[in-house]
Amino acid sequence: MAENYSFVCELNGTRIDKFLTENIEDITRSAVQKIIDENNVTVNGKTVSKNYKCKAGDSIEVVVPDAKPLEAVAQNIPIDIVFEDEYLLVVNKPKGMVVHPANGNSDGTLVNALLYHCGDSLSGINGVIRPGIVHRIDKDTSGLLIVAKTDKAHIGLAEQIKEHSFSRAYEAVVYGNIKEDSGTICQPIGRDSKDRKKMAVTMKNSKPATTHYEVIKRYGDFTHVRCILETGRTHQIRVHMSYIGHPVAGDPVYGPKKVITRLNGQCLHAKHIGFVHPITNEYLEFESELPEYFTSFLNYLENK
C-alpha cells in the first residue's frame, strides 16, 4: 500500500530531493528522485523537478508507491563454508558482499549464493528475500555468520541471540591510541535523529547495547582491538567505538570525513562465533582467519 507524507518546509534553499531524503525514514536519494520524476511529489499543489529549492512555508505532499517485490534468484557465486550439516551452515562472508537482496542490491548477495548451494533447504521464517538469515553483518564487514536450513534451527538460534547466549567476537583497527587495556561501552543505540540512515547513541527510541573491548596491539595513531558483543544492534561496534572517540578505521559513515580509501570500508572482521547447536545441543565454536585486507593494513601500520 502506498504511503503518504506531508511536510511544511521551515528553511529556504534546500533541494527538494535532499529535504525528502532527510525526512523520510529508510529511503535513498535516488529513490526520492525517481518518485519526484514520476510526479508523486507536489509543492503547494504543483509538481516540481528534483532540483527545486524549497522555500520556508512550502507545503509538500509525497506519495511513496509500493515497492515492487524483490525475488531472490539462485546464483553460482562461490562461498566459504566453514561448517555445514542438514540443519545449518556457518559461512565466512567476504568484505563487499551484501547479505540479502534489497533495493539497489538485487543480486550478487550471500542469499543468492545460498539459494544456489542449498536449493530449497533454507529456513523460510524471514521470507523469500532473507531465507535462512538469522543475523547479519554489514556489507563491508567480513567474517562469520550462521545460516539456518530449517525453521526449527532458525527459531533455536534466534532464541540464543535474544537471550545473549550466542557469543560473537570481532577484531577491528580503530583510530587513536586507546589508553585502557580493556573496557565496556554500555550505551543505548537507535536511529540518528539528524540522519535516518545512521545509528547513534541516543535515549530516544533506542535499545540497550553493550560492547566489551580489549586492546590487542597499539600502533601509535591506531589500535588493534577485539570487540565482544553482548547485544547485537545495527552497526553496534561502529557506533560504540565512534562514541568513545575511536571510530573504526576506514568507516565512511562513523569515521572521519577523510576516509582511508585503501580499506574500501571499515576494518572490521567477525572473527569468532560460538553457539549451542539448536538440534543436537552440541556447543560449537568457530574462528576465522583475518582476511588479506586486514593483515595488509596491520603490516602497513607495523612498518610505517
Of residues 91 and 27, more confidently modeled:
91
Query: pLDDT confidence of 55, banded at 50, 70, 90?
Result: very high
Residues designated catalytic: 138
Query: pLDDT confidence of 299, banded at 50, 70, 90?
Result: very high
pLDDT at 69: 55
Q: What is the 3-state secondary structure (H, E, C) of 83-98?
A: EECCCEEEEEECCCCC
* pTM as predicted: 0.78
Query: pLDDT confidence of 210, banded at 50, 70, 90?
Result: very high
pLDDT at 176: 98
pLDDT at 36: 94
pLDDT at 189: 97
Domains of the chain in start order, with CATH, are: 3-64 (3.10.290.10), 68-163 (3.30.2350.10), 164-304 (3.30.2350.10)
Of residues 239 and 163, more confidently modeled:
239
Provide the Cα torsion 135, 168, 211, 176; round to 10°. -110
pLDDT at 130: 77
Beta-strand pair 195-201/210-218: unpaired
In angstroms, the CA 171 to CA 117 distance is 29
Query: At residue 263, what are phi and psi to the nearest 5 degrees?
Result: -85, -20
pLDDT at 23: 87
Q: Is 126 helix (H, G, I), strand (E, B) or coil?
A: coil
Give pLDDT tens digits for 228-268. Answer: 999 989 999 999 999 999 999 999 999 999 999 999 999 99
The amino acid sitting at 12 is N
